[in-house]
Amino acid sequence: MANKRVERLRERLHDLGLSAMLVASPINRRYLTGFTGSAGYVLITSEQSFLLTDFRYMTQAPEQATGFQVVEHGANVMDTVKELLANEGIASLGFEQEHVTYAAFSTYTKKLEPVHLVPVSGLVEQLRIIKDDEEIKVMQRAADLADATFSHILSIVETGKTEREIDLQMEMFMRSHGATSSSFDTIVASGPRSALPHGVASDRVIEGNEFITFDFGALLDGYCSDLTRTIALGSPDPKLKEIYNIVLEAQLHTLDHIKPGMTGREADALARDVITKYGYGEYFGHSTGHGLGMEVHESPRLSKLSDDVLEPGMVVTVEPGIYLPGLGGVRIEDDIVITETGIHILTSSSKEYTVL
């Protein structure tokens, strides 16, 4: 059966006048092949699809990389690449400029001579922006696990524990329920630290009468989820409940109005305009959202500067926030799929003002 992802890549290469491309990015390698090993290169020509890897994976790779010719490379990978290029009559080769260091490029140039090297940007990443039905099913399971983890949080969080202790229990829960790991360094930001948009878990002891922001996700079968909820312990400063209600209004307004055909800046404005209306615009310093998939930050961007156009099949986050230094902050985030007519929300944890 034809690999639709490879065929789409070939179409992009044809448009650029290239007959071959070498893929070095581990994420892009897995996306194209399904191979989950830790080492290897993908070589796509107009007629052939090669996965080059080493002795360790010569049983695993053929089982996972359906439709690929698996090649055990020699001591120097580029010697094998050069041989394959010569056999295919390839004179020019595209390479991923974002994923190749200068040192690696120097090696390519020396080892592959006289093949002409052509830097290309984001070809596979552009394919990854639009998720197919199978990818969305996996991302739904990753979102479901994030939701289950949040329910678990509500049963374990209490005063006297440190943020790191909560983080560890979250990680253990996700892994014990199928995750490879968390999607990123988990944020558990309590009290004044909740005003830190990226306040990863620290040794701070959780106290009463404060907010806690949890921003986390599960990496499950190669795909990420990304969920943020903010809860209250005891009776926090009334100002915090005020900004909670504003952030929630901004987030719900965005979910109600975001749609295909909208630009990233237009989607960002949906949340930003609500927060600005209440006088807190200067306290919302990050973008409203970002693409999500095999990496936790992908295209498109929902930001003030983004001209990315939202299309069906894109998965993005919607995560406005307000952060008041010295007092605390609020962020509320869901993962959504852009559909033909609107959106489908993957995450389902309650956003009601929750007091423990």
| 3-state helix vs strand vs coil in the chain, percent to 5 | 40, 25, 35
| Closest by CA position to 347, among listed 141, 135, 131 | 141
At 319, phi and psi to the nearest 5? Answer: -145, 65
Q: What is the pLDDT of residue 1?
A: 52
Q: What is the pLDDT of residue 278?
A: 98
At 107, phi and psi to the nearest 5? Answer: -65, -45
- Model confidence over 256-299: pLDDT tens digits? 999 999 999 999 999 999 999 999 999 999 999 999 999 999 99
Query: pTM for this structure?
Result: 0.94
Give Cβ neighbours of residue 325 (< 8 Å, ≥ 6 apart): 192, 195
Strand stretches in 139-292, DSSP E = 181-182, 187-190, 210-216, 218-220, 223-224, 227-233, 289-291
Q: Are 250 and 170 in contact (CB under 8 A)?
A: no
Strand stretches in the chain, DSSP E = 20-23, 41-45, 49-53, 69-72, 92-96, 116-120, 181-182, 187-190, 210-216, 218-220, 223-224, 227-233, 289-291, 298-302, 315-318, 321-324, 328-331, 334-338, 343-345
From the CA atom positions of the chain, what is the Rg in Å? 23
Six token digits for residue 251:
């987030």
pLDDT per 10-residue tile (average), the chain, 356 residues: 88 95 97 96 96 97 96 94 95 96 95 96 96 97 98 96 98 98 97 96 96 98 98 97 98 98 98 98 98 97 98 98 98 98 97 96
Give Cβ neighbours of residue 83 (< 8 Å, ≥ 6 apart): none
Six token digits for residue 217:
């996700």
Q: Are 251 and 349 in contact (CB under 8 A)?
A: no
The verdict on whether omega for the bond into residue 236 sits within 30 degrees of 0, i.e. cis, is no
Q: Are 283 and 277 in contact (CB under 8 A)?
A: no
- Model confidence over 61-104: pLDDT tens digits? 999 999 999 999 999 999 999 999 999 999 999 999 999 999 99
Q: Are 43 and 12 in contact (CB under 8 A)?
A: no
Kindly write down the DSSP assignment for every residue of 254-271, as one continuous string. Answer: HHHH--TT-BHHHHHHHH
